[in-house]
Homo-oligomer: A and B are copies of this chain.
Amino acid sequence: MRVLGVDPGMALLGYGVVEGGEPLRALSFGVVSTPAHLPVERRLVVLHDELAQLLEHWQPDVVALEQLFFARNVTTALAVGQARGIVLLLCGQRTIPVVEYTPAQVKQAVGGYGRARKREMQEMVRLLLRLPVLPQPDDAADALALAVCYFQYSRAAQLERFT
């Protein structure tokens, strides 16, 4: 089972590929960045093409996204929405299932409680994935957390089935 976590954004899109098992393994993580001087439609083409290559290369079974209810403001929500639309389109075209988690769900599943701080989350992601250092940049760490979140929830669901 392989999960691609994605933290969509126009300037930086974070991604993290996690393979299931004991322990979980981070196969790859990083960011796709788009040049600020390009018009938005060109930046979306860059995001689209890079993400298409990641999907092609890693063949994830599931894509995990943050369920964004709140953004700093409407302009941010619109920009994130545009990048998110590209991620969702690519999944829809390949019939890759998309799961969404609220920030609180990610913090609960990965950090152990709903109000874990960013640094604590990154440390937990590092421990769970046995990474030698904290995953960087933040966008990639967030994407890894989303992918880990998927496995934490499916593990919890399995445990429940046996109790």
> Max chain B CB contacts within 10 Å: which of A44, A69, A91, A93?
A44
- Measured between beta carbons, the chain B residues less than 8 angstroms from A45 are 89, 92-93
B74, B78, B92: the one contacting A84 at CB < 8 Å is: B78
A15 to chain B, nearest CB (A): 17
Would A78 and B71 be within 8 Å (CB), given that A41-B98, A98-B39 are in contact? yes
Please measure, in the bound complex, the distance between the C-alpha atom of A114 and the C-alpha atom of B91, giving whole angstroms.
41
Cβ contacts A102-132/B at 8 Å (1 or 0 each): 0000000000000000000000000000000
Would A84 and B86 be within 8 Å (CB), given that A74-B69, A92-B42 are in contact? no
Instruction: Report A77-101 residues with CB < 8 Å from chain B CB.
Output: 77-86, 88-89, 91-93, 98
Please measure, in the bound complex, the distance between the C-alpha atom of A68 and the C-alpha atom of B69, giving whole angstroms.
19
- Measured between beta carbons, the chain B residues less than 8 angstroms from A163 are none
Q: CB distance B81 to A70 under 8 Å?
A: no
A25 beta carbon closer than 8 Å to chain B: no
Please measure, in the bound complex, the distance between the C-alpha atom of A88 and the C-alpha atom of B48, giving whole angstroms.
11
A1 to chain B, nearest CB (A): 19
B41, B77, B88: the one contacting A40 at CB < 8 Å is: B88
A75 beta carbon closer than 8 Å to chain B: yes
Would A89 and B39 be within 8 Å (CB), given that A69-B74, A71-B78 are in contact? no
Residues of A bordering B, CB below 8 Å: 39-45, 48, 68-71, 73-75, 77-86, 88-89, 91-93, 98
In the assembled complex, 9 residue pairs joining A and B whose CB atoms fall closer than 8 Å, in A order, are A40-B98, A41-B91, A41-B98, A43-B92, A45-B93, A77-B78, A81-B84, A83-B85, A89-B89
